[in-house]
Structure 1
Amino acid sequence: MKNVSLDDVDHVDRAVLPIGTDYPRGQVLDWHRHRRAQFLYGATGIMVVDTPEGTWTVPPERAVLIPATTRHRVRMLEVSTRSLYIEPDAVPWWPATCTVVDVPALLRELLLAAVEFEADYGLSGREGCVVALLLHEIAALTPLPFHVAIPAAPDLAAICRAYLAAPDAGVTNAAWAARAAMSERAFTRRFRAETGQSPAVWRTRARLLAALPLLRTASVTEVSGRLGYASPAALTAAFTRAFGMPPSRFTSGHRNVG
């Protein structure tokens, strides 16, 4: 099914509903939730998925697993998606929080085939086998670390979301502590208790995640300058340490071979 609303087919008696949707650049799917679990694959473009607990950045040709009933919003940057909406009982192994995953070639081709099915596709024969194999392949995927936690406390969450919207290499712990009307030591202790990371480590990861959308239209050199890195080599080293692959893998000139 293509460009179909889930609400129009959610009643269909199928454990898995495949839907493909094309989104214009910058479209935001505001806060919402699904009764079903969702496997959200971006065939093109970048997706940024927010929940009250964190932010997940999904590079092209990757996917995010969204648990059933999770409140979330999605910002689309020229994305063509292939989604599976799945009855929770069919995937008791589904993660409890959003999870970004790579999408190997076989899974990608299965998704492309499945979104051509009608909502009431046959459960026996080819269509049923494709859907069953999709779930087997998803269960075997390894998580990717493209996320940062968001504190539960509203004042800290507001500081973090503002930084994600406009990362600034010059921000200090002292500046954040002042915004929260706390001492630097008390702020750092509270922030670590909420996120499991120091504010400085959190900001470093947030800046690296901000590089992903920029790399679609800019070079590593340009992105390193915009994010305040001393050199392209410095960005490359930090990015590779955090994510296990260099930023050049995500530039428009790189073709992911999955």
Structure 2
Amino acid sequence: MQRGSSVEDAFREVARPVVALGSDYADGHVIAPHRHRRDQLLYGATGVVLLATAAGAWVMPPERGMWIPAGIVHDVRIMGRVRMRSLYIEPGVIRNMPGHCQVLGIPPLMRSLLAEAVFVPAEYDPAGRDGALMALIQHEIPLLPALPLSLPLPAHKALAGLCRSFLLAPTPHTSIDAWSEAAGCSRRTFTRLFRRETGLSFVAWRQQACVMAALPRLAAGQPVTAVALDLGYDNPAAFTSMFRRILGTPPGAYIEREA
């Protein structure tokens, strides 16, 4: 465990329900597994954040958020320069939030509130302007829309290692035979084990991983054709068909809607 504990040490004795911090991270930075005593809401104005727990992985594109409940061990990988804004919230203060990690949409009002919150001192006056800002944030968090940017990870050690490696370099051409051999089991055993561990077939999981890898690049304005070919698809049409099947809309329409 590392940075999570040291970050919260700065305000461990602060008797305020919500505290905000801002941090900048370089491309490729990795935050080792850690957990927080408080609930956390991450927001990245730029760059992409890949967060993983024992239960799954989540990708947070630019101008999106991530809900991380208190006590959940997670690691973080930074892709591109990330201007991160974090809220640390006393457990139980925000109700009706999930007990698992969740990527969230961050509308313009919440972006503005987060931009202001990082300049609020930890020992702010609850009855003053700073207190009103933090109170409004508490009202807005339960209204943030959930986004389908998660992927289950198996508890099985060998499978988990394969899945985490795949997330860093996904391709639609990885085969069940190759993975079953790497896992040291038969194709039939692998298929059963993978579905039991993730709730998905290997093919469905692989396709969702490719979508997760594509979203940050599409959000950054890269052409669909370039993203599709870089991921290993034979043509943009095959990628678009897979994308539509998983998210219910073609890549261009999805990015336009989310923007």
Structure 2 residue aligned with 1:223, among 220, 227, 234? 227
2:85 counterpart residue number: 82
- State TM-score, norm by structure 2: 0.89
Whether 1:45 aligns to 2:70 is: no
- The Cα of 1:92 is off from its aligned counterpart by 4.1
SS of structure 1 residue aligned to 2:206: helix
Residue type of the partner of 1:14?
A: R
For 1:93, what is the secondary structure of its paired residue?
coil
Q: CA deviation at 1:157?
A: 0.6
What secondary structure does 2:131 align onto? helix
Instruction: From the superposition, tell whether residues 118 and 217 of structure 1 become closer, same or farther in structure 2 (CA, over 3 Å).
Output: same
| Residues 106-164 of structure 1: per-residue CA shift (max 9 Å, x gap) | 11111111111011111013222221221221112221111111001111111111211
Match of 1:175 in 2: 178
Deviations 1:154-182 (A, max 9, x none): 11111111211222322111221222222
The change in CA–CA distance for 1:241 and 1:10 in structure 2 (over 3 A counts) is: farther
Gapped runs of 5+ residues in structure 2?
Answer: 1-5
SS at match of 1:80: strand
Contact in 2 for aligned 1:146/1:243 (Cα 8 Å): no
The aligned counterpart of 2:3 is none
Q: Structure 1 length normalisation: TM-score? A: 0.90
Q: Deviations over 1:38-71 (max 9, x none)?
A: 0001111111111111110001110000010111
Report what 2:144 is aligned to. Answer: 141
- Structure 1 250/40 Cα, relative in aligned 2: closer, same or farther at 3 Å? farther
RMSD, aligned CA = 2.2
CA contact (8 A) 2:30 2:76 kept: yes
Amino acid at match of 1:247: P
Cα offset, 1:243, TM superposition: 3.3
> How far apart are 1:241 and its partner, in Å?
3.6
Q: Indicate the residue corresponding to 1:130 in structure 2.
A: 133
Structure 1 residues 170 and 241, CA gap change in structure 2 (3 angstroms) = closer
Q: CA deviation at 1:5?
A: 3.7
Aligned residues: 252
Matched, 1:202 2:236: no
